[in-house]
């Protein structure tokens, strides 16, 4: 019979701790950044966010990311994205970070500039470009080059040197505010067709200046952002970068590109490469695409093997046994869950029980944990005692 907080003698890699700079994660389960599109018009969180992130903090994950925070009003995907472009956001974000931490998880957040994929309606409202007839007013989008993200979408303005300088300054300011709000890990979103990805990919970057052309030019903005953020983000706190490891289109960004970029990011002080994919091809935001579980894990595995850096696997990871295997087999250091956490905020705690490993019941609120402990002891008792 297992007592309170007891652990079986089976090795459990998914629920082993991991140190990242001055932060120790209780386990390798991460709640991935997921846009909610529920913010007020000023980019501030509201009662929905307090409840949403409070529940995720209680769920047993070692690290919980909020949705991405826009670094400027024009950096938003929709009018309802959370923001970090003003000092006025810090107090409310502090409450969100605190709610996650009180649940037992390390609070984390992500910085985003949507680039040419901004100024659209929310997914359940059509995920279409805003126009004069929209409830929300449109705004000018920017990108590496003046080409739209999808047919019929806004044509973005190609960023000039002054605009690029503003972007770098906005990332720095956003990182400072995220630290002031109490977040203890930070992720730079350089994937899914947003601004930084639009510079990385030759499919979306047709520039012939120092910010385009060959790999060196196309990678310059992402590396510059990482360097600028690392300089202001506290030295004892970890920094992640999310990449679309492949465009999966002819002539696009490749795994070899991602490996080389990852080497350079790690050398600048990035601690974890967050391995996703896609975002420049066929629109998938408003419909689900059937893919196998963990279809992006090979990207994390290869970058980890070839760079020696830490990686995070993400993408349709749904079952505890699969997640355990990813870490146990050395395919990634961290496993991020998304949709599963939305459907079941306590997925990590249920996963621990499914794998035969209970973290200390302190990770459950005591009003739940005592009952679960009692049920577990009753199930383990000999038949005569029942």
CATH assignment of the domain containing 353? 3.20.20.70
* Sign for the pseudo-dihedral over CA of 379, 383, 385, 386: positive
Catalytic site includes residue 127: no
Other CB atoms within 10 A of residue 10 CB: 8
Is residue 78 a contact partner of residue 116, using CB atoms and an 8 Å limit?
no
pLDDT at 221: 98
CA dihedral 306, 311, 315, 316 (to 10 degrees): 100
Parallel, antiparallel, or unpaired: how do β-strands 106-112 and 334-337 relate?
Answer: unpaired
Alpha-carbon gap, residue 305 to 164, rounded angstroms: 33
pLDDT at 235: 98
The answer as to whether 149 is a domain residue is: yes
The answer as to whether 178 is a domain residue is: yes
pLDDT in tens, 9-50: 445 799 999 999 999 999 999 999 999 999 988 999 999 999
C-alpha radius of gyration, the chain, whole number = 21
pLDDT in tens, 278-337: 998 655 444 556 788 989 999 999 999 999 999 999 999 999 999 999 999 999 999 999
pLDDT at 5: 35
Give the range of the structural domain holding residue 270, as residue numbers without chain letter: 18-378
What total of structural domains would you count in the chain?
1
Q: Supply φ then ψ for residue 289, to 5 degrees.
A: -110, 130
The answer as to whether 4 is a domain residue is: no
Higher pLDDT, 367 or 312: 312
The answer as to whether 11 is a domain residue is: no
Name residue, tokens 């501030």: 44
Confidence of residue 1 (pLDDT cuts 50, 70, 90): very low
pLDDT in tens, 255-268: 999 999 999 999 99
Confidence of residue 376 (pLDDT cuts 50, 70, 90): low
The answer as to whether 386 is a domain residue is: no
DSSP, collapsed to helix, strand or coil, labels residue 179 as helix
* Sign for the pseudo-dihedral over CA of 191, 41, 131, 156: negative
The model's pTM is 0.92
pLDDT at 9: 40
Alpha-carbon gap, residue 293 to 323, rounded angstroms: 10
CA dihedral 175, 181, 187, 193 (to 10 degrees): -80
Is pLDDT at 8 greater than 50 in this prediction? no
Confidence of residue 358 (pLDDT cuts 50, 70, 90): low
Alpha-carbon gap, residue 355 to 60, rounded angstroms: 14
Is pLDDT at 342 greater than 60 in this prediction? yes
Q: Which residues pair with 243 in a beta bridge?
A: 190, 275
The answer as to whether 5 is a domain residue is: no
The answer as to whether 13 is a domain residue is: no
Query: Residue 355 contacts by C-beta under 8 Å, 6 or more apart in sequence?
Result: 10, 12, 14, 15, 320, 321, 324
pLDDT in tens, 73-112: 999 999 999 999 999 999 999 999 999 999 999 999 999 9
The answer as to whether 94 is a domain residue is: yes
* Catalytic position from the list 53, 194, 295, 299: 194
């Amino acid at each position: 019979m297992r007592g309170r907080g007891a652990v079986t003698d089976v090795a459990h890699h998914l629920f082993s701790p991991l140190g990242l700079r001055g932060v120790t994660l209780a386990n390798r389960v991460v709640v991935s950044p997921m846009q909610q599109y529920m913010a007020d018009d000023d980019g501030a969180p509201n009662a929905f966010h307090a409840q949403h992130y409070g529940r995720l903090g209680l769920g047993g994950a070692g690290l919980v990311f909020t949705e991405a925070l826009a670094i400027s009003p024009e950096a938003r995907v929709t009018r309802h994205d959370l923001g970090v472009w003003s000092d006025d956001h810090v107090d409310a974000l502090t409450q969100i970070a605190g709610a996650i931490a009180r649940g037992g998880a390390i609070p984390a957040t992500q910085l985003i500039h949507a680039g040419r994929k901004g100024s659209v309606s929310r997914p359940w409202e059509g995920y279409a470009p805003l126009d004069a007839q929209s409830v929300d007013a449109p705004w000018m989008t920017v990108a590496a080059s003046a080409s739209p993200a999808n047919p019929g979408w806004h044509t973005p303005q190609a960023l000039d040197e002054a605009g690029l300088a503003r972007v770098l300054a906005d990332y720095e300011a956003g990182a400072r505010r995220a630290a002031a709000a109490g977040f203890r890990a930070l992720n730079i979103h350089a994937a899914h067709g947003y601004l930084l990805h639009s510079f990385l990919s030759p499919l979306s970057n047709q520039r012939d200046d120092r910010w385009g052309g060959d790999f060196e030019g196309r990678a310059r903005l992402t590396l510059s952002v990482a360097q600028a953020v690392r300089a202001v983000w506290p030295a004892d706190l970890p920094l992640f970068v999310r990449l679309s490891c492949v465009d999966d289109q002819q002539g696009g960004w490749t795994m070899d590109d991602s490996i080389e970029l990852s080497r350079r990011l790690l050398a600048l002080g990035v601690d974890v490469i967050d391995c996703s994919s896609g975002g420049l091809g066929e629109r998938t935001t408003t419909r689900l695409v059937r893919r196998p579980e963990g279809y992006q894990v090979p990207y994390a595995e290869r970058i980890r093997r070839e760079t020696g850096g830490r990686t995070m696997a993400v993408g349709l990871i749904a079952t505890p046994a699969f997640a355990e295997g990813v870490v146990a087999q050395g395919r990634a250091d961290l496993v991020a869950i998304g949709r599963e956490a939305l459907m079941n905020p306590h997925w990590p705690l249920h996963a621990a029980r499914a794998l035969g490993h209970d973290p200390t019941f302190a990770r459950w609120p005591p009003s739940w944990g005592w009952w679960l402990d009692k049920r577990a002891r009753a199930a383990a008792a000999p038949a005569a005692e029942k």
